[in-house]
Amino acid sequence: MPAKLIALKPADVSERLTSGTAVLIDIREADEFARNHIVGALSRPLSGFEKAHLGIAAGKDAIFTCRTGMRTGANCGRLAARVNGEAFVLDGGIENWTKSGLPVANNPGAPLEMMRQVQITAGVLVLIGVGLGLVVHPGFFGLAAFVGAGLTFAGISGFCGMARLLALMPWNRLAPA
């Protein structure tokens, strides 16, 4: 029988966190966590999850969260396997937590999440390529094809050149402490 996570409503998670009986583990990537997160949550990105120290003291429940609950649901076996005993998930993720009126630490100065930056950049490049292809010269359709090929390669290989380039941009560099 595959491992599963027991869903908890935001109010139940808040009560467990306030009473100190649980640890909330956010599995989103570091750039997502930096932009907003539930106060007190531990950042343990899914990309390095098996190697991460979860920081769960004996006798405390592990509650996992992501943005909407999709990632935790898709990886429930991986997550539950790292916990002795029952493992829990914040039903609906941080979005449901926020809709329930519970507080979230926001940092509007943090850069947009890398995947959103890639989506925006790819979309703009495709629109430019198609627009110029229609108005200026059909050769510009090649720009849209190039972006599509790059996204396909990224999906197959796990390497996204556009994300690597965007990571070098000034707005994505951490300011010195």
Sequence-distant (≥ 6) Cβ neighbours of residue 177 within 8 angstroms: none
Q: How confident is the model at residue 24 (pLDDT cuts 50, 70, 90)?
A: very high
Residue 76 among the catalytic residues? no
pLDDT at residue 172 is higher than 60: yes
**pLDDT digit string (tens) for 117-142?**
899 999 999 999 999 999 999 999 99
**pLDDT digit string (tens) for 61-105?**
999 999 999 999 888 888 988 888 888 999 999 999 999 999 999
pTM of the model: 0.73
What letters, b where the CB count within 10 A reaches 16 and e where it falls short, cover 96-110?
A: bbbeeebeeeeeeeb
Catalytic residue, candidates 5, 27, 41, 66: 66
Strand order of the sheet with strand 42-43? 6-8, 87-90, 61-65, 22-26, 42-43
pLDDT at 107: 86
Give the mean model confidence (pLDDT) for residues 53-63. 84
Within 10 angstroms of residue 131's Cβ, the number of other Cβ atoms is 13
Percent residues over pLDDT 70 in the chain: 96
Within 10 angstroms of residue 65's Cβ, the number of other Cβ atoms is 28
pLDDT at 38: 95
Give the mean model confidence (pLDDT) for residues 6-20. 94
CATH superfamily of 6-106: Rhodanese-like domain (3.40.250.10)
Give the mean model confidence (pLDDT) for residues 53-64. 84
pLDDT at residue 175 is higher than 80: no
Q: How confident is the model at residue 177 (pLDDT cuts 50, 70, 90)?
A: very low
Domain range summary for the chain, segments of one domain joined by +: 6-106, 114-172
Task: Name the average pLDDT for the chain.
Answer: 89
34: region left, alpha or beta (phi > 0 left; psi from -120 to 50 alpha):
alpha
Contact criterion met (CB below 8 Å) for 24 and 63 = yes
Structure-block tokens of residue 106: 């926001």
pLDDT at 171: 84
Contact criterion met (CB below 8 Å) for 166 and 122 = no
